[in-house]
Structure formats: structure tokens, C-alpha cells
């Protein structure tokens, strides 16, 4: 797997203790090319980076997301460890994009996600552009196909954008869910997709038409806040009930730039961390979520590591639920 590189352990640093009080002391570094791994029996989280912003470049966005995974790691490393002794946290390295071949990187990501799921880990993927979602979903789909049939994978996307653009002119960070829909259609399977935080000022009319034609669940940003939590909960729980497994993806550009300035497409009109955390709690409590990705972290435009800290805090929240 030529796209794979291990993570530099020096990225995982912070305050030191003799009791694993911080996550950098808890994490164990794995080289997937060298370390022989067998299936884990205890709860295990596996962090994997997707070092690629080729999709963002193709989508005419601000490049820099390839540096996102390490920026998130640096903030996560310093955070306190509340995990139990029998819960493992593994740093699995990065899938990188070589020679602008995003499709090869997505394929390697899918292969690695499948392997991590086979090992009975919970993959946490760090992006990178939102094209991470295509490799992420295919990794889940391929693994589930080998262990069970006729299981429904529901996609929950926290995002300002549908990312349902046609890929007739090529794949990019705005096409992953359209690609998934096309792949599933070829297999006589329908897309099951819920998008939370959609903004009308961030999607052209035809994308709303595409979403409607694909029966995509939508909660617009104007209704995606704590004031509407009861209705959000009803819609989210209904969606979860109809899925066997959940693939969860968080595009950081869905947040208001007050919280996330370091993204490829910032806007002050986005949602807040509180509503996302409320929804993540519902998703985790369902015990159907088997993986998570966080996309579009762009440290080039971050302010005081604010966006990286937000991403790290969301991961910390999921780890410790």
C-alpha cells in the first residue's frame, strides 16, 4: 500500500505524568505495514489520517486540508485521558495522496477502513477534504459485504453542503455522496443519507432537486439549533431506526466561522458545536455508529488553533461517551 505512511510520534506530545493522564500518554503507535495485528476483543479506537486536499483543489476551494490530520492530532494529544484501562487508543498513520491521484488515495482509505473494522476497531478518520467520505463509506460497505448481507448503511453528514455535485466532469470534494448514490444505484440499492445543517446560501437550486430525487433527509441550518432540538431528535432517531449501521461524517465548514475559521469554505452563518454534540450523543447511544470522519480542517487559515481544537474536542467527546 504505497499511499500509506506512519505518523511521526513527536506529533503526539503534551504534559507528562506517570498515570496516563493525557491522551498522548495513552495512545499506542501502529505501523500497518510492519505490525502484525489480530482482532481486538476490548473496545478499541483507531485514528487514521487522510492527507489529501486534491478534491478541494478540483472543487476550486482553498487548499491546505492535507495538513489537517496532524493539526488535529496535536490538539487531541494534549487533552486529558478519561478512558478506562481496557479501552485502547491506536494511532494508525496516514493515507496520503500521491501525484494528485485522489482516486487511488480513496481506494487505499477504503481498504484500510475495511481492515480496521475487521480488526474490531472503531475508526476515527481525520481529513483532508470531504472526498474522505467516499473512501470511508466504501470501506464500511466492503467490510459489511464480507460479513453480512442486506444491511443498510445510513450516512449522517453534519455539513453546510450536500456534496451531491455530479461527477461527470470528474470527482472532487463536492461529489462524494453523488458517487455513493450512483454506486448504490448500480447495485439496485438506494442511498440512505441525512444531512444536518444545510444552507440555501451554500447550495445551488439543482442540488436541492438532486437531494429531493434521491430522497435525502434534510434539516436546514435555520432549524439546526438547540431551539429545535426536539424536532431534530425525532427526525434523527427515525433515520437511525431505519439503518443497521451508521457512517458519520462531520464537515468542519458547516460550523460558523466563529468556531471554525480554519476550513476550506468558511461562513459566519454555520451551526454551533452544542447542537452537533447533542446529535452525536444520540447517534452514539444507538450503538449503530461504527466509524467517524472529520473533514475540511485547514490549518493554513486557522486562528489560534481554534478549528483544530474544535475537531479534537469533538473526537474527545465521542471517545468518552
Query: Could you give the CA distance from residue 95 to residue 104 in angstroms, rounded to a whole number?
Result: 10
* CA-based R_g, the chain, Å: 18
* pLDDT classification of 2: cutoffs 50, 70, 90: confident
Tell me, yes or no, if the pTM score tops 0.85.
yes
Cα-based distances in Å from 149 to 142, 152, 153, 244, 289: 11, 9, 11, 11, 18
Which pLDDT belongs to residue 34? Answer: 87
Minimum mean pLDDT range among 107-121, 137-151, 280-294:
137-151
**pLDDT (tens digit, 9 = 90+) per residue, 9-48?**
999 999 999 899 999 999 999 999 987 888 998 899 999 9
**Cβ atoms of residues 296 and 130 within 8 Å:** yes
Over residues 180-227, the pLDDT tens digits come to 999 999 999 999 999 999 999 999 999 999 999 999 999 999 999 999
Q: Taking 80 as the threshold, does the pLDDT of residue 70 lie above it? A: yes
| pLDDT > 80? residue 148 | no
E-state strands within the chain: 4-5, 28-29, 44-51, 88-96, 122-127, 153-158, 193-198, 217-220, 245-251, 289-295
Length of the chain: 321
DSSP 3-state of 274: helix
pLDDT of residue 129: 97
CA of residue 285 relative to chain centroid, distance: 18
Span between the terminal Cα atoms of the chain, in Å: 33
Q: What is the CB neighbour count within 10 angstroms for residue 254?
A: 28
pLDDT of residue 130: 98
Burial class (CB in 10 A: 0-12, 13-18, 19+), 136: buried
pLDDT at 113 over 90: yes
Mean pLDDT of 156-183: 98
Classify residue 195 by its DSSP letter. Answer: E
Task: Kindly report which listed range (66-70, 149-153, 266-270, 310-314) carries the lowest average pLDDT score.
Answer: 149-153
pLDDT category, 149, cuts 50, 70, 90? confident
Q: Which residues pair with 44 in a beta bridge?
A: 88
Point out which residues pair with 64 in neighbouring strands: none
The model's confidence at residue 147, banded by pLDDT at 50, 70 and 90, is confident
Task: Catalogue all structural domains in the chain, each as residue range(s) with its CATH number.
Answer: 4-319 (3.40.800.10)
User: What is the rounded average pLDDT of the residues 253-262?
Assistant: 98
pLDDT of residue 41: 87
Checking if the pLDDT of 55 tops 80, the result is yes
Residue 146 clears pLDDT 90, i.e. is over it: no
Cis peptide before 128 (omega within 30 of 0): yes
For the annotated binding site for Mn(2+), the residues are: 130, 159, 161, 163, 251, 253
Amino acid at each position: 500500500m504505497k499511499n500509506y505512511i506512519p505518523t511521526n510520534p513527536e506529533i503526539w506530545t503534551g504534559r507528562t505524568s506517570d498515570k496516563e493522564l493525557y491522551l498522548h500518554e495513552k495512545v499506542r503507535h501502529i505501523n500497518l505495514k510492519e505490525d502484525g495485528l489480530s482482532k481486538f476483543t476490548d473496545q478499541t479506537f483507531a485514528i487514521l489520517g487522510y492527507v489529501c486536499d486534491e478534491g478541494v483543489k478540483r472543487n476550486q476551494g482553498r487548499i491546505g486540508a492535507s495538513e489537517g490530520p496532524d493539526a488535529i492530532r496535536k490538539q487531541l494529544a494534549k487533552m486529558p485521558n478519561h478512558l478506562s484501562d481496557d479501552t485502547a487508543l491506536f494511532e494508525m498513520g496516514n493515507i496520503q495522496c500521491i501525484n494528485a491521484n485522489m482516486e487511488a488515495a480513496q481506494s487505499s482509505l477504503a481498504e484500510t477502513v475495511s481492515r480496521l473494522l475487521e480488526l474490531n476497531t472503531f475508526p476515527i478518520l481525520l481529513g483532508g477534504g470531504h472526498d474522505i467520505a467516499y473512501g470511508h463509506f466504501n470501506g464500511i460497505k466492503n467490510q459489511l459485504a464480507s460479513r453480512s448481507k442486506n444491511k443498510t448503511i445510513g450516512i449522517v453528514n453534519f455539513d453546510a453542503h450536500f456534496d451531491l455535485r455530479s461527477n461527470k466532469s470528474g470527482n472532487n470534494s463536492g461529489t462524494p455522496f453523488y458517487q455513493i448514490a450512483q454506486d448504490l444505484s448500480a447495485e439496485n440499492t438506494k442511498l440512505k443519507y441525512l444531512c444536518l445543517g444545510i444552507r440555501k446560501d451554500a447550495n445551488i437550486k439543482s442540488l436541492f432537486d438532486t437531494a429531493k430525487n434521491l430522497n435525502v433527509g434534510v434539516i436546514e441550518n435555520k432549524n439546526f439549533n438547540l431551539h429545535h432540538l426536539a424536532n431534530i431528535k425525532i427526525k434523527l432517531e427515525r433515520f437511525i431506526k431505519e439503518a443497521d449501521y451508521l457512517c458519520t461524517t462531520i464537515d468542519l465548514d458547516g460550523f460558523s466561522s466563529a468556531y471554525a475559521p480554519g476550513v476550506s469554505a468558511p461562513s459566519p452563518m454555520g451551526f454551533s458545536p452544542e447542537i452537533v454534540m447533542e446529535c452525536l450523543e444520540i447517534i452514539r447511544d444507538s450503538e449503530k455508529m461504527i466509524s467517524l470522519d472529520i473533514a475540511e480542517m485547514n490549518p493554513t487559515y486557522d486562528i489560534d488553533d481554534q478549528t483544530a481544537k474544535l475537531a479534537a474536542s469533538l473526537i474527545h467527546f465521542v471517545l468518552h461517551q
